Structure 1
Amino acid sequence: MSEHPRRVTSADVAELAGVSRATVSYVLNDTPRQTISPSTRTRVLDAAARLGYAPSAAARTLRTGRSDVVLCLLPDWPIGPEVGSMLGNLSAALARHGYTFVVHPGNREDRPIGEIWKAITPAAVIAYTEFTEGEIAAMRAAGVALVVGLFGHGRHQDRRELEVPQQLVGRRQAAHLAATGHGRIGYAYPDDERVRIFAEPRLAGVRAEYSDRGLRGPAVETVALDAVPASHAVRRWQSAGVTGICAYNDEVALAVLAGVRLLGLRAPADLAVIGVDDIAPARLAVPALTTVTTDQVAMAAYLSATVVAAINGRPAPDVPSADLIRLVHRESA
């Protein structure tokens, strides 16, 4: 006797439902232009559920020429609440389009990119780093829709870009500080090089907002997640006449607040601080942290629509930037 249970097949479903295998295939694949009665469709679906039948992904790939998998090549990022929320919402949004979302974290040194996508044969690949010309050509030749999630346009004209409006995040921060009377501001830059892809456009947004208002750009300091070095940055900002800080994210903002307290200063009286992400500790800080947050559900809907458009050769949708970023006003700024 075999040690492993036999895989349930479409023939088993057909036998239990009392229909042909072709009918099972038509129902489970929702094949158009087939006249199948509601009662027959219900019998097939009930039989498949009772048997725990799952169509073979390999067989589907052979039949259609591609899988229903969307592969996300995630860089060596710290997976914090915001990135986790982004991935969870994107997985749910793609599922509504009939696609399975698979995330592969790491870097190119761990395993060559070609080995990863060839092992899965995805319908599309999302990535947040540049590909070489050879990698792009290989994926195109295999019928993989490449969706590169860069923050800005890359040099390749034949690929899709995910215009994540990180600059708008910085603009929202800067606009709030400018509106509350802070003519000289600073920017708390993260000391983690892995998140530079987010930090640079956010800083660019802060600079652009103050430039548009005819105000001087931010004094930039790299801030570690430690109160003592953060206090040194606070001292330098004070010497430069800075009264408000845009932080890369809430964690960096909390480090700035810790540095303020260490020096016996107060926020916002001595230094106003605004973060990004609205993580739970931001609400518990003293003072509670003013921040900006992204509507991750709307972002996921936009990203999934962009992926589906790329797979089907349609134009990408516009970024819903007007409603994507909002201010959460608390006590720190």
Structure 2
Amino acid sequence: MTSVDVAREAGLSRATVSYVLNDTPGQSIPEPTRQRVLAVARKLGYTPSAPARALRSGRSDLVLMLLPDWPQGSTMIDMVEAATDALADLGLTLLTHHSATSHFAPMARMCAAISPAAVAGVVPFTEEEDAELRRAGVEIIFPGADAGTPEALSWMGSPGRIQAHYLIEQGHTRLGYALPEHPRLYGIARARLAQVAAACAEHGLQPPTARRLPLEPSAATATVTAWRTEPGSPTAICAYNDDVAIALLAGARSLGLAVPDDVAVIGVDDGPMAKLAYPALTTVGIDAPAHGRTLAAHLAAQIKGLPVPGVEETAERLIVRESA
């Protein structure tokens, strides 16, 4: 089936049908006519020619997403699935690519071959990666190399603020922040740390002391020891995610510290292990599908010139257990 068949069945001109099927900007097609064309297209099983559309527009309808080189848990899987569905509703196809930082060149070559409408990353691209993608002809890169701020990563919500406000409400006046060891997580981690610092500033408190925490027992113990021996040591620690928080619990336990009496710990994600940790982990649950839809909306805003959306209100929720 071609657009000619759709026009014949709908009783409309080929130009009108083409404007609707190609979502051509600047055309004032009445909504009933647009819906009529789309209904006939569905009835006939019309599928647009991807090569023809790419030739006409200079780019394909593909959105290429770089998945970072760390284990992909249920949060990431749910987010990607929701983004895939949301982009499909907008006539875009999400293609994922798993790549390590040291092997970024193949992705740039892939971009040159498929001419994607946009390239998305779960974490900000480095300046070198950004430049390499642009040399490959990519115009829309999200988030860009300058996205290491809470505002630029606002589509990912504000779990750091939720963590800090809860701990401050519990009477804690000196907070710490446990950063992940993996370098590709620094963009998101810095944004979450800035959220915690902003919440502390709102309450007239000192900014949190931040330390990287490897997911290894002796390293976790050493990090907790360093916190406990510094002047004005934190009485509560916000962790980048549940994995880091559980490492903190292990470090505290090895030193004979009681959680939350000696030090409170709060994570992010509400993964399967959060409720099985000892003590059970207080955390900020992430509505991964909501974040996936928000990511898709941000991409669509740049690709199709739509309004930039906000984050869904249901994207995060505080889950109080025993650790804080």
Is this a same-fold pair by TM over 0.5?
yes
2:278 to 265, 274, 286: 286
Distance in 2 between residues matched to 1:119 and 1:83, nearest whole Å: 27
- Measure, in 2, the Cα distance between the counterparts of 1:289 and 1:46: 51
Equivalent pairs counted in the alignment come to 303
1:63-118 Cα shifts (integer Å, max 9, x gaps): 55542211223444543333333222211211122211012222474425542222
Contact 1:186 1:246 (C-alpha < 8 Å) held by counterparts = yes
From 105, 108, 113, the counterpart of 1:111? 105
Structure 1 263/135 Cα, relative in aligned 2: closer, same or farther at 3 Å?
Answer: closer
Q: Report the TM-score when normalising by structure 2.
A: 0.77
- Partners of 1:194 and 1:325 in 2: how far apart? 23
CA contact (8 A) 1:167 1:203 kept: no
Matched, 1:227 2:217: yes
Q: Is there any run of 5+ residues in structure 1 with no aligned partner, and where? A: 1-9, 155-160
The change in CA–CA distance for 1:151 and 1:302 in structure 2 (over 3 A counts) is farther
Report Cα offsets for 1:130-177 as digits up to 9, x if no partner.
Answer: 4578667667xx6x65142149658xxxxxx96435572211111111
Cα distance between partner residues in 2 of 1:125 and 1:111: 14
1:151 and 1:165 in contact (8 A); partners too: no
Worse overlay, 126-135 or 176-185: 126-135
1:299 aligns with 2:291: yes
Partner of 2:26: none
Q: Out of 116, 138, 145, which is 1:122 matched to?
A: 116
Tell me which moved more, 269-278 or 223-232.
223-232
Q: 1:283 to 1:30 in 2, by over 3 A?
A: same
- Quote the Cα distance in structure 1 between the aligned partners of 2:177 and 2:153: 23
- Residue in 2 aligned with 1:198? 188
Tell me the C-alpha RMSD between the 2 structures: 3.8
Structure 2 Cα separation of the partners of residues 78 and 221 of structure 1: 22
Partner of 1:189: 179
Question: Any conservation in 1 of the 2:242–2:283 contact (CA below 8 Å)?
Answer: yes
Mapped to 2, the partners of 1:204 and 1:113 lie a distance apart of 31
State whether residues 246 and 274 of structure 1, in contact with CA within 8 Å, keep that contact through their aligned partners in structure 2: yes
Q: Kindly, what percent of the aligned residue pairs are identical? A: 39
TM-score where L is the length of structure 1: 0.75
Identify the residue that residue 5 of structure 1 maps to in structure 2: none
Say if 1:207 and 1:76 are closer, same or farther in 2 by CA, change over 3 A: same
* Mean Cα deviation higher: 238-247 or 101-110: 101-110
CA distance in 2, matches of 1:150, 1:316: 16
Residues 1-333 of structure 1 mapped to structure 2, 5 A cutoff: 10=1, 56-62=49-55, 65-106=58-99, 107=101, 109-111=103-105, 114-127=108-121, 128-130=124-126, 146-150=140-144, 163-164=153-154, 168-240=158-230, 241-317=233-309, 319-320=310-311, 323-333=314-324
Between 1 and 2, higher relative CO (CA 8 Å, sep ≥ 6) is seen in: 2
Q: Which amino acid aligns with 1:129?
A: F
Q: Deviations over 1:161-203 (max 9, x none)?
A: 9643557221111111111011122111112112111111111
SS in structure 2 opposite 1:102?
A: strand
